[in-house]
Amino acid sequence: MTLLYFAWVRQKIGKGEEALEASVADVAGLIAHLKSLGPNYADAFADLSRIRVAVNQHHAGLDAKVGPDDEVAFFPPVTGG
Amino acid sequence: MKTSIRIQRADFDLNAEVAALTEDGESGAVASFTGHVRKEGNLSTLTLEHYPHMTEAEIARLAEEARQRWPLTGVTVVHRVGSLKPGDRIVLVAVASEHRHAAFQACEFLMDYLKTHAPFWKEEARAGERHWVEHRHSDDDAAERWNK
């Protein structure tokens, strides 16, 4: 799957985009996997109340299903306008 | 409904945008909102980042939601990204309808939902230090009232 990171999530992880092969069922499982990859990921995902998710460019929850062909984005609550 | 959604670095011209919305003569009313960078304390620069493609898709979904709620003839949303200074224009929402009531309401609805749904993030620079702007819960409340 394709992972995208924005704003301080991107800065904490240290990249804006990456491809990942992982057998996870949902967003919560994906986050648990990412947190095991290194302290930068663990730091970015330390407080999930500050993280928002989009799956295939639609806002989604932690229980949203994800698969190999999906685009999953992680970012802080939005501040546009 | 005539819909124009653009994310751009360049500035925009309110008169030109309203002229484009009304040139066919079908709209008796246009309500518009323009947001500017507010000079708060020692703010020097505001830098806006967004999620390309999702931003446009999300705003299009919000415009469609507005069209289902009110009889609209046109919606234009222009949102700037990149580096902006105090006083600069950031966002334009312009809504056209046959009559004013729908235009006023849909313009406010779109702005409230854009604030809580469109994937933009602001980073402030103050005296050489940069930090990300925190989401405001009052914006959630403003969007939530449309669900009552």
User: Which pLDDT tens digit goes with each residue over B78-108?
Assistant: 999 999 999 999 999 999 999 999 999 999 9
Q: How far apart are CA B120 and CA B48, in angstroms?
A: 7
CB pair distance less than 8 Å for B90 and A81: yes
Q: What is the pLDDT of residue B148?
A: 80
CB pair distance less than 8 Å for B121 and A57: no
Structure tokens at A24: 């996870």
Q: Is the pLDDT of residue A73 over 90?
A: yes
Contact B36, B89 (CB under 8 A): yes
Decide: helix, strand or coil at residue A77.
coil
Percentage of residues in chain B having pLDDT higher than 90: 97
Beta-strand pair B72-80/A58-60 = unpaired
- Domains of chain A (ranges; CATH) run 2-75 (3.10.20.30)
DSSP string, A34-47: HHTT-HHHHHHTS-
CB pair distance less than 8 Å for A54 and B54: yes
pLDDT-derived band of residue B128, with 50, 70 and 90 as boundaries?
confident
Q: How far apart are CA B75 and CA B63, in angstroms?
A: 7
pTM: 0.96
> What's the residue count for chain A?
81
ipTM of the predicted structure? 0.96
Class for the domain spanning B2-147? alpha beta
Q: Tell me the chain B residues in contact with residue A77 when contact means C-beta distances shorter than 8 Å.
A: 134-135
Q: Tell me the chain A residues in contact with residue B139 when contact means C-beta distances shorter than 8 Å.
A: 81
Q: Looking at residue A78, what DSSP letter applies?
A: P
Q: What is the pLDDT of residue A10?
A: 98
